[in-house]
Amino acid sequence: VETIEHRGRPSRDAIIITELPYQTNKAALIEKIAEMVNERRLEGISDIRDESDRDGMRIVIELKRDAYPRVVLNNLYKQTPLQTNFGVNMLALVNGEPQLLGIKPFLEVFIDFRVETITRRTRYYLRKAEERDHLLQGLLIALDNLDAIIDLIRGAADAPTAKQELISSYNLSEQQADAILQMQLRRLTALEAEKILQEHEDLQARIHDYQDILARRERILEIIETELNEIRASQADPRRTVIEQVADELDDIDLIANEQAIILLTEQGYIKRMPVNTFEAQSRATRGKAGTRMKEDDGVEHFLSCCDHDSVLFFSDRGVAYCVRAYQIPMGSRTSRGIPIVQLLPIPHEERITSMVPVTEFSADEYLVMLTQGGYIKKTELAAFSNIRSNGLIAISLNEGDQLRWVRRARAEDSVIIGTRKGMTIHFRTDHDQLRPLGRPTRGVRAMSLRNGDELISMDILPSQVVAAMAEINDDDADTDDELSVEDSCGVQGPWALVITTGGLGKRVPVSQFRLQNRAGMGLRAIKFRLKNDELAALRIVNEGDELMIVTSRGIIIRQSVDAITCQSRAATGVRVQRLDSEDAIVAVALVPPAAEGEEAEAEAEE
């Protein structure tokens, strides 16, 4: 992938092809790519041209400005002959019988063959060396007894008689006796005698080496390696192709761009995915756009923002976790209904999804904090959910009548803030003292004490750096509700707690006004309700520059900047954040941090 000039300016990415697989025709490949682009089976390509010349092949595939080069290249590998597999018939004779082998057995058989070859060769060399040394030992005996042997030979009647007398007199073998009788007179000189002695000593060293090779397999393997290196040094040519680790088959995720998306789930179980840019930012207190088309008795229940490559964990009210990739959720338009979630997950008809969590990476230092409707909270390692079976995985043990409602990602140094329908909040640490890690099939501990008629409605996580800054705030220093001024929070730096009501009101409250408490307390008031029968809809931790997406029970979605929402104290009633139709109400909020192209955004839905 290179950046090429477009109209005189280096502003376009392009895929440059300089080599093709064996038996792949260049013209046919270009024609096939062009055909697929015209039929819209291959996206992201604006032009293709052949710039090959006498210097070599060069096919230029120019990409569109918004294309992802790696995704386009993976699609070319998947759908065209640009990447081709060739089968190898690895047939070998094993113990005289033909067998079809894999790579490892093939190499093992070859090594065994080389071991056997070198063993037989060494035995041959050893036998020849011992035979030659045997003759030399006879010649050395003759040289040591030269005068006596000459007299013996001169006095013998014939050659056979001399041979027998040599064998009997000096304990020689027939081969040694024949060698002595055939020895030339010039070899009787002192120089020749020295050569015979030196050859004998050399043969003794070689015999010892051959015996050592035959006795130790590692010596044979060393010889195999040495000989292969010698062949490589003398015969090897520079490779035109590169041997690499075999690439796995391309998965669907390799063919899909990792773009930001919105996932929406309705009360009746219809789910769909939409691009984030479907909803441009709007002003505060506007109505928003329709985000889905629903039946009259249906409403939006869950809503989150994530990236297409993220894993989305679904948690049911019965405490079962399911997992799919975000891109596996079918894409839909703003007004489409989506598909039934039972077509995506094997959810029994008596279960319903109560929380969705996007996960980019199952890191070892992260946890899932789970909160039940009955007020029990627990912390479990995120890695425990990295391999979820297709039929789900038990995430929490529940009391009879209790339901799992909220699940959030957190680290041990973070803190959790929990809100109730009547506007109360409690803020405590998620460290191992307040919330020790528990396994999956456990219930957890009490999170908050509730007043009569109140119930939990929201949960979010404060990052560790915010918790550290608040560590010195104690109960004596914190303001009470009566001491807080409605506008005394203006100008305070974030992060803030974003408080949204079902009636469309909201505000930002500095997190410093939510002091750290012990778990299981009554908590503090987060908002004073202005409207009759108004309730808390969402409590989220936000930072400067964040964007939020608000969805109503009728599927109306508005996207706006968090900065447009007024910063107020806990005692304030908030400002209008969305204009609602009659009998409509806010049900969910998702945060969409501003991101450059390719940056992964993490956001979750808030019921």
Q: Tell whether the model's pLDDT for residue 362 goes beyond 90.
A: yes
Q: Which two tokens stand for residue 347?
A: 């959810």
The answer to whether 58 touches 52, Cβ cutoff 8 Å, is yes
How many other β-carbons are positioned within 10 Å of the β-carbon of residue 384?
17
Task: Write out pLDDT tens, residues 23-49.
Answer: 899 999 999 999 999 998 898 899 999
Helix axes 190-215, 217-235, angle to 10 degrees: 110
Domain 103-235 part of CATH 3.40.50.720: no
d(CA 556, CA 543): 24
Task: Write out pLDDT tens, residues 212-259.
Answer: 999 999 999 999 999 999 999 998 888 777 666 666 666 677 778 888
In this prediction, residue 594 carries a pLDDT of 47
Q: Helix or strand or coil: residue 168?
A: helix
- 251-260, 372-381, 550-559: which has the minimum mean pLDDT? 251-260
Sequence ranges of the chain with CATH classification 3.30.1360.40? 2-79
Task: Write out pLDDT tens, residues 57-95.
Answer: 999 999 988 788 888 888 898 899 998 877 778 888 888
Sequence ranges of the chain with CATH classification 2.120.10.90? 258-606
Across the chain, how many H-helices and E-strands are there? 9, 31
Q: Which two tokens stand for residue 349?
A: 């008809």
| pLDDT band at residue 334 under the 50/70/90 scheme | confident
Q: Tell whether the model's pLDDT for residue 102 goes beyond 80.
A: yes
The answer to whether 536 touches 426, Cβ cutoff 8 Å, is no
Sequence ranges of the chain with CATH classification 1.10.268.10? 103-235
DSSP string, 59-101: EEEEEPTT--HHHHHHHHHHHSTTS-------EEEETTEEEE-
In this prediction, residue 255 carries a pLDDT of 74
Q: Helix or strand or coil: residue 192?
A: helix
- What is the architecture of the domain spanning 2-79? 2-Layer Sandwich (3.30)
Q: Which two tokens stand for residue 5?
A: 């000039």
Alpha-carbon radius of gyration of the chain: 42
In this prediction, residue 602 carries a pLDDT of 36
d(CA 88, CA 67): 36
258-606 folds as: Neuraminidase (2.120.10)
d(CA 70, CA 73): 5
In this prediction, residue 598 carries a pLDDT of 35
| pLDDT band at residue 422 under the 50/70/90 scheme | very high
Paired with 524 in beta bridges are 425
The answer to whether 356 touches 263, Cβ cutoff 8 Å, is yes
How many other β-carbons are positioned within 10 Å of the β-carbon of residue 514?
25
Q: Tell whether the model's pLDDT for residue 454 goes beyond 70.
A: yes
Q: Tell whether the model's pLDDT for residue 277 goes beyond 80.
A: no
DSSP string, 570-602: TTS--EE-----TT--EEEEEEE----TTPPP-
The phi-psi region of residue 203 (left if phi > 0; otherwise alpha if psi is between -120 and 50; otherwise beta) is alpha
